[in-house]
């Protein structure tokens, strides 16, 4: 309604009368009636997210919004936002006038102060005035028209705050980065509000930024005149605060500031650089999303009351007391000590490694983080490189990755920060027959045809300095199988070598490994396409890639032909029922291929998009056909691009 009221009522009746006189509803009362009304109201405060009343409740009170804002929810399961009611708005009159139960649910979107009058006083005082009845009729007609139109109110401004535990730095870097990235990702208007503590009384000539209390009392056009144009097209506003304020005054002040500015901005980001405890504790009264810089991630506390805002924790390694963490989940966000961030690398293309966590954080705020599940399949897994190449070419972000078997080797290299072109070049080089021979180390004592040590010796050096999960650029996990329990084992800490080595241990072919008392084999035995792990890591969207094809009769691997030719020299092979059957090796590998294709598609059912390259003309051992296999991955992903773009919001 555009009225500006005193944010806090007092027990002084004359001040309460003055405040009520500013509200249109009470302008129809005579002075003595207004004074009587002022004495009949009680003041109640509702923090952000708190429910005032629910649809179906008895209508026993009448409300007037004094400060803050109420949201009116209706429709199926109260899922439709019907209206927002600001200072001066009457609420709850319909159920009192009609004698019905509440028709909608009211909730505070900010810290909100209401004036509350009971049903009897409402009837005795207000319903005897014809002009007030006429006013109520107009309000009811307007609300019924809005409700019957079936249209929801436009989504409200998202308010983000960035603060830190005492003594930690990084709030300004993170808040400005978030503002710029939200602008880049959405194209919407973004405001960055920088909060500074005012010490002393500056001279007028200094043109100091306004105090918070001054800003919320300004006319809106004057307040807009204080906005500056910042980098990357965002708007900036500097606000000063005093150190001697209470939690409620900070919270109420910032909530009112948001109400004054939200019509112009889709996102408002507060840089709460101060170490003031009252300021830190007030964020719940005006914030939707809090980004908190911490030394160590907080352990979840199920007994704690539900917060009215979402919190994301960020570990900033520029702080000397902070230590690296395994990069194996969407959260917590770990900001590396990368000087490039201070040199404008935030918006560079391709994304600078130091800026990767901030990009993921911004997409998490928007609910748009993308994770990719790379399935197993030996040589079939080379198709993953084609998949990732197409995603990268079309600017589809990949925020985290999970790999199984061959997918674990591709996933780790990608998460370590190697470019797709580098990975494809290495795949072509390692796929040469001369290189493949170097990976063979037959085992005599271990439970597998190959010991697997030479495969490790060939691959691990390619990772260079990236040896542990703490060294990764993007979150990554691998999956293996506990062969004694059948359980899937997600690996996201420790040595990268141990992680991929356990995941590629194909039963019978490559010897299993031991990890924390478990005997681990190929993850494809339990989860060939680990889409569920992508979800568990915190991705909002999941792309699952099942590279294992169904068997195609007549397609035979080179190794099978060699085995069959050698069998001809065995005179016993011409006798008995085995003469017309495939050899034991083919039976084992074909059985696993069939199992992994079917189980992989089933495990990928929770994914938003599934990619299935057509590799039925290939076999699992044909690494030397890397060019053709990668091209098949490219082809399959290009076919799925419309579906992928639609899911990530890039289809317009």
The DSSP secondary structure of 368-399, one letter per residue, reads --EEEEE---GGGGGHHHHHHHHHHHTT----
Least confident of 13-17, 93-97, 211-215, 264-268: 13-17
Same domain, 583 and 493: yes
The whole-number pLDDT of residue 638 equals 97
Q: Is the pLDDT of residue 5 over 50?
A: no
Ramachandran area for residue 534 (φ above 0: left; ψ -120 to 50: alpha; else beta): alpha
CATH number for the domain that contains residue 57: 2.60.120.10
Which pLDDT band, with edges at 50, 70 and 90, does 525 fall under? very high
Looking at the 3D structure of the chain, how many domains does it have? 3
pLDDT band at 480 (very low <50, low <70, confident <90, very high): very high
> Would the CA dihedral through 542, 543, 548, 554 be positive or negative?
positive
Cβ atoms < 10 Å from Cβ of 159? 28
pLDDT band at 594 (very low <50, low <70, confident <90, very high): confident
Q: CA-CA distance, 511 to 501, in Å (whole number)?
A: 10
CB count within 10 Å of CB 585 equals 15
Judge whether 405 counts as a catalytic residue: yes
**Can you tell me the distance from the alpha carbon of 262 to that of 508, in angstroms, rounded to the nearest whole number?**
63
The mean predicted confidence, pLDDT, of the chain is: 85
Q: Are residues 560 and 510 in the same domain?
A: yes
Q: Are residues 308 and 170 both part of a single domain?
A: yes
Confidence of residue 37 (pLDDT cuts 50, 70, 90): confident
Helix (H) or strand (E) holding 645: helix 626-647
Is residue 598 domain-shared with residue 538, that is, in the same domain?
A: yes
pLDDT of residue 373: 98
Question: Using omega within 30 degrees of 0 as the cis cutoff, is the peptide bond preceding 332 cis?
Answer: yes
The reply to whether 273 and 301 lie within a common domain is: yes
Give the residue from 366, 396, 421 where a domain finishes: 366
Query: Strands 448-450, 400-404: parallel, antiparallel or unpaired by DSSP?
Result: unpaired
Longest dimension (CA), the chain: 118
Which tokens is 164 given? 């830190």
Contacts of 360 (CB under 8 A, 6+ apart): 330, 333, 369, 399, 400, 474
| pLDDT of 10 | 42
C-alpha 339/C-alpha 465 separation (Å) is 19
Asked if pLDDT for residue 516 goes beyond 90, the answer is no
Strand partners, 61: 118
User: Does 260 fall in a domain?
Assistant: yes
pTM: 0.80
522 is catalytic: yes
With beta carbons less than 8 A apart as the criterion, state whether 622 and 557 touch.
yes
> Which among 490, 522, 540, 608 is annotated as catalytic?
522
Residue 7 confidence (pLDDT):
41
Phi, psi of 315 (to 5 degrees): -100, 120
Q: What confidence tens digit (pLDDT) does each residue in 527-561 have?
A: 999 999 999 999 999 999 999 998 876 655 555 55
Q: Note whether residue 402 is domain-resident.
A: yes
**Residue whose C-alpha is closest to residue 478's, from 493, 460, 463:** 493
Highest mean pLDDT among 104-113, 148-157, 197-206, 317-326: 317-326
Choosing from 67, 177, 328, 405, which is the catalytic residue?
A: 405
The pLDDT of residue 579 is 53
Angstrom distance (rounded) from CA 626 to CA 628: 6
Return the top range by mean pLDDT from 108-117, 192-201, 215-224, 493-502: 493-502
Of 566, 557, 185, nearest to 380 (Cα)? 557
Specify whether the CB–CB gap between 387 and 637 falls below 8 A.
Answer: yes
User: Over 80: is that where the pLDDT of 573 sits?
Assistant: no
pLDDT band at 143 (very low <50, low <70, confident <90, very high): low
Helix (H) or strand (E) holding 53: strand 51-53
156 vs 56: which has the higher pLDDT = 56
Task: Decide if pLDDT at 115 tops 50.
Answer: yes
Lowest-pLDDT range, 206-210, 232-236, 421-425?
A: 206-210
Between residues 601 and 134, the one the model is more confident about: 601
Average pLDDT over residues 80-102: 83
pLDDT at 628: 97
% of the chain beyond a pLDDT of 90: 46
CATH of the domain at 422: 3.40.1090.10
Cα–Cα distance, 544 to 373 (Å, whole number): 5
Query: What is the pLDDT confidence band of residue 205, given thresholds at 50, 70 and 90?
Result: very low
Burial of 306 (0-12, 13-18, 19+ CB in 10 A): exposed
Q: What is the DSSP string of 290-336?
A: EEEEESSPPPP-TTSPPPSSEEEEEEETTSTT-------SS-SEEE-
CA distance 165 to 275: 8
Instruction: Note whether residue 469 is domain-resident.
Output: yes
The average pLDDT across 505-518 equals 90
Rg of the chain's alpha carbons, rounded to an integer? Answer: 32
**Domain-ending residue, one of 87, 110, 141:** 141
- Give first-to-last CA distance, the chain, whole Å: 36
Q: What is the mean pLDDT of residues 244-258?
A: 81
Least confident of 361-370, 396-405, 430-439, 447-456: 430-439
How would residue 576 be classed by pLDDT, with cut points 50, 70 and 90? Answer: low
- Are 499 and 604 within one domain? yes
Residue where one domain finishes, among candidates 112, 141, 170: 141
The domain containing residue 66 runs over which residues? Answer: 19-141
One domain for residues 328 and 427: no
Long-range Cβ pairs for the range 292-295 (8 Å, 24+)? 292/162, 292/163, 292/164, 292/165, 293/162, 293/163, 293/164, 293/165, 293/168, 293/169, 293/170, 293/171, 293/174, 293/319, 294/164, 294/165, 294/168, 294/332, 295/165, 295/168, 295/319, 295/321, 295/322
Mean pLDDT highest for which of 83-92, 148-157, 272-281, 360-369?
Answer: 360-369
Of residues 200 and 646, more confidently modeled: 646
Q: How far apart are CA 386 and CA 381, in angstroms?
A: 10
Residue 286, domain member (yes or no) = yes
Are 413 and 542 in a shared domain?
yes
The pLDDT score that the predictor gives to residue 347 is 79
How high is the pLDDT of residue 291?
97
- Decide if 166 is inside a domain: yes
| Residue 431 confidence class, pLDDT cut points 50, 70, 90 | confident
More confident residue, 493 or 584: 493
Give 502's pLDDT tier (boundaries 50, 70, 90): very high
- Average pLDDT (414-418) is 96
Q: Are residues 514 and 377 in the same domain?
A: yes
Same domain, yes or no: 204 and 183: yes
Q: Which of 335-339, 380-384, 587-591, 614-618 has the lowest mean pLDDT?
A: 587-591
User: In whole angstroms, how far apart are CA 102 and each of 50, 55, 65, 87?
Assistant: 17, 5, 17, 21
**Which tokens sit at 315?**
């570990």
pLDDT at 435 over 80: no
- Rounded to whole angstroms, the Cα distance separating 89 from 553 reads 74
List the CATH number of the domain containing 323.
3.40.50.300
Residues 185 and 333 in one domain: yes
Residue 12 counted as domain residue: no
Pinpoint the alpha helices (H) of 400-461. Answer: 406-415, 420-430, 433-438, 453-459
- pLDDT at position 583 is 63
Residue 388 pairs with which residues in a beta bridge? none
Residue 320 has pLDDT above 50, yes or no: yes
Nearest CA to 523 out of 502, 543, 540, 508 is that of 502
Range of lowest pLDDT (305-314, 338-347, 567-576): 567-576
Q: Which two tokens stand for residue 305?
A: 């009351």
Closest CA to 230 of 193, 271, 266, 272: 193
Tell me what pLDDT residue 262 has. 85
Q: What percent of the chain has pLDDT over 70?
A: 87
Residue 449 covered by a domain: yes
Task: Of 186-190, 366-370, 440-444, give the lowest mean pLDDT range.
Answer: 440-444
The reply to whether 132 and 175 lie within a common domain is no
Rounded Cα–Cα distance for residues 268 and 262 (Å): 8
Is residue 462 one of the residues assigned to a domain?
yes
Handedness of CA 247, 250, 251, 253 (dihedral sign): positive
Is 578's pLDDT higher than 60?
no
């Amino acid at each position: 309604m555009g009225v500006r009221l005193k944010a806090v009522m007092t027990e002084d009746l004359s001040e309460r009368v003055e405040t009520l006189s500013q509200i249109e509803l009470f302008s129809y009362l005579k002075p003595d009636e207004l004074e009587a009304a002022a004495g009949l109201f009680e003041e109640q405060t509702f923090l952000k997210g708190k429910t005032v009343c629910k649809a179906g409740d008895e209508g026993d009170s009448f409300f007037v919004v004094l400060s803050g804002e109420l949201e009116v929810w209706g429709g199926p399961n109260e899922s439709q936002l019907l209206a927002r009611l600001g200072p001066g708005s009457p609420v709850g009159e319909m159920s009192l006038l009609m004698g019905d139960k509440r028709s909608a649910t009211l909730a505070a979107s900010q810290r909100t102060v209401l004036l509350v009058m009971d049903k009897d006083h409402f009837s005795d005082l207000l319903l005897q005035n014809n002009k007030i009845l006429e006013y109520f009729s107009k309000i009811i007609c307007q609300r019924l028209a809005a409700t019957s139109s079936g249209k929801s109110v436009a989504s409200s401004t998202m308010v983000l705050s960035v603060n830190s535990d005492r003594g930690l730095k990084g709030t300004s870097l993170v808040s400005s980065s978030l503002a710029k990235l939200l602008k880049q990702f959405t194209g919407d208007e973004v405001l960055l509000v920088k909060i500074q503590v005012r010490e002393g009384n500056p001279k007028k000539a200094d043109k100091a930024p306004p105090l918070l209390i001054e800003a919320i009392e300004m006319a809106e056009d004057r307040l807009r005149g204080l906005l500056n144009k910042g980098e990357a097209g965002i708007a900036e506003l500097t606000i000063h605060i005093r150190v001697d304020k209470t939690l409620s005054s900070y919270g109420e002040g910032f909530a009112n500031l948001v109400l004054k500015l939200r019509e112009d901005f889709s996102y408002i980001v507060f840089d709460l650089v101060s170490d003031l405890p009252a300021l830190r504790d007030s964020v719940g009264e005006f914030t939707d999303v809090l980004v908190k810089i911490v030394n160590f991630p907080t352990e979840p506390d199920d007994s704690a009351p539900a917060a009215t805002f979402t919190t994301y924790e960020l570990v900033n390694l520029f702080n000397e007391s902070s230590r690296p963490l395994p990069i194996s989940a969407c959260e917590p966000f770990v900001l590396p000590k990368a000087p490039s961030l201070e040199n404008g690398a935030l918006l560079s293309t391709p994304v600078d490694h130091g800026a990767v966590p901030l990009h993921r954080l911004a997409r998490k705020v928007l609910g748009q983080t993308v994770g990719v599940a790379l399935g197993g399949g030996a040589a079939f897994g080379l198709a993953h490189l084609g998949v990732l190449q197409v995603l990268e070419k079309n600017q589809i972000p990949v925020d985290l990755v999970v790999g199984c078997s061959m997918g674990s080797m591709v996933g780790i290299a990608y998460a370590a920060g190697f470019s797709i072109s580098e990975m494809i070049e290495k795949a072509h080089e390692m796929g040469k027959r001369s290189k493949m021979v170097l990976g063979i180390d037959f085992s005599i004592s271990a439970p597998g045809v190959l010991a697997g040590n030479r495969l490790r010796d060939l691959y691990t050096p390619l990772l260079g300095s990236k040896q542990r999960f703490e060294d990764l650029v993007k979150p990554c996990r691998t999956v293996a199988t506990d062969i004694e329990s059948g359980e899937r084992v997600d690996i996201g800490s420790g040595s990268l070598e141990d992680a991929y080595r356990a995941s590629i241990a194909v039963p019978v072919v490559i010897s299993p490994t031991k990890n924390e008392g478990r005997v681990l084999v190929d993850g494809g035995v339990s989860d060939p396409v680990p889409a569920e792990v992508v979800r568990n890591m915190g991705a909002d969207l999941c792309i699952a890639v099942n590279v294992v094809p169904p068997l195609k009769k007549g397609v035979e691997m080179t190794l099978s032909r060699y085995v069959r030719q050698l069998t001809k020299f065995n005179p016993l092979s011409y006798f008995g029922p085995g003469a017309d059957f495939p050899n034991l090796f083919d039976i084992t590998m074909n059985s696993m291929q069939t199992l992994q294709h079917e189980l992989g598609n089933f495990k990928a059912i929770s994914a938003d998009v599934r990619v299935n390259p057509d590799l039925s003309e290939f076999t699992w051992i044909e690494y030397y056909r890397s060019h053709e296999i990668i091209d098949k991955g490219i082809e399959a992903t290009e076919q799925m691009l419309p579906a992928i773009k639609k899911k990530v919001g890039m289809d317009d």
